[in-house]
A and B are shown apart, each in its own frame.
Chain A
Amino acid sequence: MNVLIIEDETALARELEIFLTNYNYVCEVCFDGISASEKIATSLYDFILIDLGLPDYDGLDLLREAKKHDPEAACIILTARAEINDRIKGLDLGADDYLPKPFSLLELQSRMQAIVRRKFGVKNNIVELGGFLIDLTARTISYYNSVINTITKKEFDLIAYLILHKNRTLTRMQLSEHIWGSVVINDYDSNYIDAHIKNIRKKLNAFAPPDWLETVRGLGYKIKINA
């Protein structure tokens, strides 16, 4: 899929490019609004990532142009100015999502995946892991024919996030940011992730040992799926 990255901070634009390329996206990068405007007018993209704080251009104008020339493209707004007015304005103008800086690249990827699923109406999104069937759309886990209903919302969020970033070690920090991102916490203690994982393992163990949920010693957790 094609992604246009519009970001005036070259260092950040580079990291976005590296990360998305690793996830098999084809990236083009613009460091200013004028060249971005040209690209939008001439090419078609699946994703356009727009930084609102461009020195030469109002990011919201770029969003308008993108919606006009390339209505199929999914636009995600990136901004350091996470004010609610911007948020409402961005979504009003047809942005598909909105990520306030600083964000995790994993979060960006998960939002892009969500947009893809929404756009293409993916209904059958079931992953099979060691006998467990994990339905990412219906948000259920079952073992053969019995649904496991002891798994809480937070626990499912963790499993789903690990599946989305399969075969990649996610640190406790990345996992806490994902599941507690909406809370402004005064302290940052990611040890609670361990407690969650312990709970998940205990609940699943009643059916079968979830060996696919790996602890990467000293670093974090990983779900291994052989493609």
Chain B
Amino acid sequence: MKLGTKLTLFNAISKLVIVILFVLLLPVLIKNISRNYVDSQLIKQKNKLLQIVKSRGIETYIENGEAYGSYLPLKEEYISLDEVDPDYYLDTIKRGKRLFSEGDTLEYRILSHTFKIKNKNYLLEIGKSVDTLDETSAPLQNIAFQVLLGMILLTVLADQVYSTYVLKPLRLIIKTKLVGQKFPNFNSYRKVRTTTSDFEHLDISIHNMIETIADKFHKEREFISNASHELMTPISILQSKIENMFEEEDINDDVKTRLLEMQRILNRLKSITKTLLLISQIENDQFLKEDTASVAGLLQDVYDEISIRLQDKDISYEMTVPVNWQFVNINKFLLFNLFFNLVNNAIKYNNQGGNINITGVQVHDKYVISVTDTGIGIEADVIPLIFNRFKKLRQALQQDSFGLGLPIVKSIALFHDIEIDVISEKGVGTTFKLILPGTLIIVQ
């Protein structure tokens, strides 16, 4: 999930939780507030009444010992004053029910207060109906919920807009610096405009890292390229010298055998250097991809070139590739070398009298060419390492290999955007699947 979405989602959910909590608490709150309000009203009324009693005398309300009572027409408030036992004492505000002479029972908040005047004890009761209060709480809750919901929507919208705005540099960094980049061909640096210092820091750090990697990468390539080139001339001199010495008349056969050994070693050096140079040339994009070739034809060329090796190990070679497949936008020399090395490996790691099968299948818009052998196989944990340079993981039956065959294959495949999938079972065989994009093959 994207950061912006996460932030908006979190904002919305957290606000919603708070609002729901508030709305649920609302009745309790309202009850509390209104009770306090009613209580203070009751106390005020009590004080006022006591004031009246004090100034005008109890007779204002009570004459001949008859109790006083009064209420509003709808009985939402009442006052009663009566004489009670001298020892009776009460000073509370409570909820309670009162029965009226008409037969109504109503619920009130009741202030009860006893006071003494002229050795007589009186009980004052002031009541306020609570029904009205209870009824208001539900609609209030409703309205509050709706209003708050509206407010949440508004703030979420505002959050969304703002976070989109403030996170824009981050999106830009990800889009231009990370996602669209194909290693190692980085585009030139373009500063991402932002006022957020964190993003500025991130942008510069990423840029510096990429630059360091690219620099190291270029240096490595340059080194391999230069080293291979520089080695060519000395190798050339040695090769010429050995070739000339070979023809000298006064050299005996023993020396000739040793010269031959030197030639063999020199050839190995030459082979390694040439291979490294080829890989570096591929990586430096020094090949064109403008050739067209029949797939079956190219594989036939590989077969012609390699048939002596097949024959030597009595390996059968089967090819079922559609004859109407045509490579386009490829480098023929490189693809030839790719297949040559794959088939050569399939021979090298095969058993005497084994089998090599090459098939071509179209899968959706891609083309899959597989080279399958019945050889010794590769262990699963080793498969990711087989394309590394100079890694000799499989015990070759002949010791002359130096572990650059698959790196060549990988470089050429990468250069043509071909994906390689390796499936192998120990003791059963290996399949190298080349998955070619639709742009490389046309079906005629």
Contact = CB atoms under 8 A, between A and B. Distances in A.
Q: Do A and B bind each other?
A: yes
Interface of A: 9, 11-12, 15-16, 18-19, 22, 53, 80-85, 100-106, 152-154, 168-169, 171, 173-174, 177, 180, 182-192, 195-196, 199, 218-220
Interface residues of B, number: 54
List of 8 A-B pairs having minimum Cβ-Cβ separation, nearest first: A186-B405, A15-B240, A102-B236, A80-B232, A187-B401, A101-B236, A102-B235, A187-B400
Interface in B55-100: none
Given A15-B237, A103-B236, A168 B247 contact: yes
Nearest to B275: A184
A180 B348 CA distance: 17
Contacts of A180: 305
Scoring A101, A103, A186 by chain B CB atoms within 10 A of each residue's CB, the highest score goes to A186
5 contacts: A18-B244, A19-B243, A185-B341, A186-B405, A188-B400
Given A84-B287, A105-B244, A12 B232 contact: no
Contacts of B104: none
Contact of B246 (A84, A102, A171): A171
A222 to B, nearest CB: 12
A199 B307 CA distance: 12
Contacts of A190: 264, 267
Contacts of B246: 169, 171
B294 interface: no
Given A173-B260, A185-B344, A102 B400 contact: no
A152 B396 CA distance: 29
B350 to A, nearest CB: 14
A85 to B, nearest CB: 8
A218 B253 contact: yes
B187 interface: no
B95 to A, nearest CB: 97
Contact of B344 (A22, A177, A186, A195): A186
A102 B247 contact: no
Interface string B230-266: 1011011101110110110000010011001001100
B224 to A, nearest CB: 14
Contacts of A15: 237, 240-241, 243-244
Contacts of A192: 308-309, 312
A105 B237 CA distance: 10
Given A22-B247, A219-B260, A186 B275 contact: yes
B233 A101 contact: yes
Contacts of A182: 333
A184 B240 CA distance: 21
Scoring B244, B268, B398 by chain A CB atoms within 10 A of each residue's CB, the highest score goes to B244
Scoring A173, A180, A218 by chain B CB atoms within 10 A of each residue's CB, the highest score goes to A173
Scoring B230, B267, B271 by chain A CB atoms within 10 A of each residue's CB, the highest score goes to B267
Given A15-B244, A81-B229, A219 B253 contact: yes
Contacts of B232: 80, 82, 100-102
Interface of B: 229-230, 232-233, 235-237, 239-241, 243-244, 246-247, 253, 256-257, 260, 263-264, 267-268, 270-271, 274-275, 277-278, 281, 286-288, 304-305, 308-309, 311-312, 333, 336-337, 340-341, 344, 348, 396, 398, 400-405, 408
A11 B237 contact: yes
A120 B229 CA distance: 36
Contact of B271 (A83, A103, A104, A185): A185
A104 B243 CA distance: 8
A22 B245 CA distance: 12
A22 B286 CA distance: 38
B402 A186 contact: yes
A195 B337 contact: no
B309 A219 contact: no
Contacts of B239: 102-105
A16 B244 CA distance: 9
A128 to B, nearest CB: 25
Scoring A100, A169, A185, A220 by chain B CB atoms within 10 A of each residue's CB, the highest score goes to A185
Given A83-B281, A154-B308, A187-B348, A174 B243 contact: yes
A12 B340 contact: no
A157 to B, nearest CB: 11
Contacts of B253: 218-219
Nearest to B279: A184
A105 B236 CA distance: 9
Contact of A188 (B230, B247, B260, B264): B264
A198 B239 CA distance: 27
A218 B240 CA distance: 21
B243 A184 contact: no
B311 A195 contact: yes
A100 B270 CA distance: 12
Contacts of B278: 184
B260 A171 contact: yes
Contacts of B264: 173, 188, 190
Contacts of A219: 253, 256-257, 260
Nearest to B348: A187
A85 B336 CA distance: 20
Contacts of A103: 236, 239
Contacts of A9: 233, 236-237
